[in-house]
């Protein structure tokens, strides 16, 4: 090869390399990992949460722009007392895939979110929910957008430092206003029983309310137990929520139940109420429970310093011909609580003793 041509090729290669390197540096700077980290931390802070990472977010450009998050910790925001809060979620790592137009000044949109090996603590989650000020639970201005969904693998859920669910996997579809959105969740109980949950709905925000239309819920396990419900829900902030779900509950050996779950919003003299109804051949459940008070009661029961002998809040009755919970088998179970408890003989008003009988 003639020397002038060889020099020209070398020069072109050097120029191409410099251009490519410049493009990579420019894209790296456009990604601005601090910008997205601060955005996530700000959104967590608005919800009363604190997001921390074990190391700064690291950007990647190929095959698509993304941020690698290492050592994720999500906890309730510092209460100012100097005592750290128990983490609600711990995860080994996560990945946020971003669209190219976001890098060039477009809206901060997440194409896909992936989280590996998360650990969710139900006690810490419950404590955060109970201490959350009611005014902070407001409807967002718009539905957040996730172009291709969320993916979670190898998760676990613990309660009282004991594992409740393992091998948790979650996949979702695209999240966008007025578009069908689906969630598929699978997990295993402590005895290895596999669980499956599928939910789909159409989210939208109308007149300051979050609407979930066309809800379809299906839950099942390996013991041929399944729940199928359809309906709709509405949330206007804080405890102003309503829901209507109806369908069937199937239990092996017992057949189908008519099932209904409804949620009525809190009012001046009544709390948020959840009503559960199951009607089968030999079994009947009709319960009205205040979810917030129920969570507080459960928290007290789980606290070793709190008294144990207290009845749960709520009204209703449970009548079961048979009930199997783990290795425990119960027959002829009947429970009444709240207003459903029959009045005792001593509480019945006696006849007016001042009216003496007439002599015969």
Is residue 268 reached through a cis peptide bond, with omega within 30 degrees of 0 on the bond before it? no
**pLDDT tens for each residue of 248-276:** 988 777 778 889 999 888 777 778 888 98
Phi-psi label, residue 71: left if phi above 0, alpha if psi -120 to 50, beta otherwise: left
- Residue-wise pLDDT tens digits, 23-81: 555 555 556 667 777 777 777 777 678 888 888 777 776 677 788 888 899 888 776 55
d(CA 156, CA 187): 8
Most confidently modeled range among 34-38, 95-99, 187-191: 187-191
H-state helical runs in the chain: 3-31, 33-46, 100-103, 122-131, 291-302
Q: How far apart are CA 98 and CA 109, in angstroms?
A: 7
Phi, psi of 45 (to 5 degrees): -60, -40
**Which string of b and e fits 294-312 if b means at least 16 CB within 10 Å?**
eeebeeeeeeeeeeeeeee
Query: pLDDT band at 305, cuts 50/70/90?
Result: low
Q: Which residues pair with 197 in a beta bridge?
A: 185, 219
Stronger pLDDT, 101 or 3, i.e. the higher one? 101
Q: pLDDT digit string (tens) for 202-254?
A: 999 888 888 999 999 999 887 678 889 999 999 887 778 889 999 998 877 77
Task: Let me know how long the chain is.
Answer: 360
Residue entry with tokens 């578009």: 179
DSSP element (H, E) containing 70: strand 66-76
Residue 198 in this model has a pLDDT that exceeds 70: yes
Q: Note the pLDDT of residue 83.
A: 57
H or E stretch covering 247: strand 241-251
Query: Helix axis angle, 122-131 relative to 291-302, nearest 10°?
Result: 130
Compute the distance between CA of residue 305 and CA of residue 301 in angstroms, rounded to an integer: 9
Report pLDDT digits (tens) over 119-163.
998 888 877 776 766 555 677 777 877 877 888 999 999 887 888
Cα angle value 52/140/176 (rounded, 5°): 90
CB 254 within 8 A of CB 270: no
CA distance 346 to 360: 30
What span, in angstroms and rounded, lies between the C-alpha atoms of 68 and 57?
A: 6
Model confidence band, residue 105 (pLDDT cutoffs 50, 70, 90): low
User: Quick one: average pLDDT of 276-287?
Assistant: 84
Q: How many angstroms separate the CA atoms of 86 and 202, rounded?
A: 34
Computed over its alpha carbons, how large is the radius of gyration of the chain? 28
pLDDT value, residue 344: 53
Q: What burial class does residue 63 get, using C-beta atoms within 10 Å of its C-beta: 0-12 exposed, 13-18 middle, 19+ buried?
A: exposed
CA–CA separation, 38 and 32 (whole Å): 10
CB 165 within 8 Å of CB 189: yes
């Amino acid at each position: 090869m003639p020397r002038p041509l060889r020099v020209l090729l070398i020069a072109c290669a050097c120029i191409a390399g410099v251009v490519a390197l410049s493009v990579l540096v420019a894209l790296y700077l456009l990604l601005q990992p601090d910008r997205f980290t601060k955005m996530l931390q700000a959104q967590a802070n608005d919800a009363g949460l604190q997001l921390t990472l074990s190391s700064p977010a690291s950007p990647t450009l190929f095959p698509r722009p993304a941020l690698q998050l290492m050592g994720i910790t999500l906890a309730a925001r510092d209460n100012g007392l100097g005592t750290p809060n128990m983490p609600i979620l711990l995860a080994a790592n996560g990945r946020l895939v971003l669209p190219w137009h976001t890098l060039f000044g477009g809206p901060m949109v997440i194409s896909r979110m992936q989280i590996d090996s998360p650990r969710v603590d139900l006690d810490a989650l419950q404590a955060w929910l109970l201490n959350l000020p009611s005014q902070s639970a407001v409807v967002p201005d718009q539905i957040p957008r996730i172009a291709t969904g969320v993916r979670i693998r190898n998760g676990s859920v613990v309660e009282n430092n004991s594992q409740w669910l393992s091998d948790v996997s979650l996949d979702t579809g695209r999240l966008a206003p007025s578009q069908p959105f689906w969630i598929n969740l699978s997990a295993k109980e402590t005895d290895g029983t596999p669980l499956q949950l599928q939910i789909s709905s159409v989210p939208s925000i109308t007149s300051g309310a979050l609407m979930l239309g066309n809800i379809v819920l299906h839950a099942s396990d390996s013991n041929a137990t399944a729940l199928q419900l359809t309906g709709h829900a509405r949330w206007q902030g804080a405890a102003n929520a309503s829901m209507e779900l109806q369908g069937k509950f199937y239990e092996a050996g017992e057949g189908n139940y008519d099932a209904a779950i409804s949620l009525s919003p809190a009012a001046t003299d009544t709390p948020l109420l959840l009503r559960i109804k199951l009607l089968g051949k030999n079994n009947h459940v009709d319960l009205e429970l205040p979810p917030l008070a129920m969570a507080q009661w459960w928290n007290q029961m789980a606290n070793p310093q709190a008294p144990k002998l207290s009845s749960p809040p709520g009204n209703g009755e449970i009548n079961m011909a048979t009930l199997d919970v783990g290795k425990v088998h119960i027959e002829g179970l009947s429970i009444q609580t709240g207003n459903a408890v029959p009045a005792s003989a001593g509480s019945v008003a006696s006849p007016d003793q001042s009216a003496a009988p007439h002599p015969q």
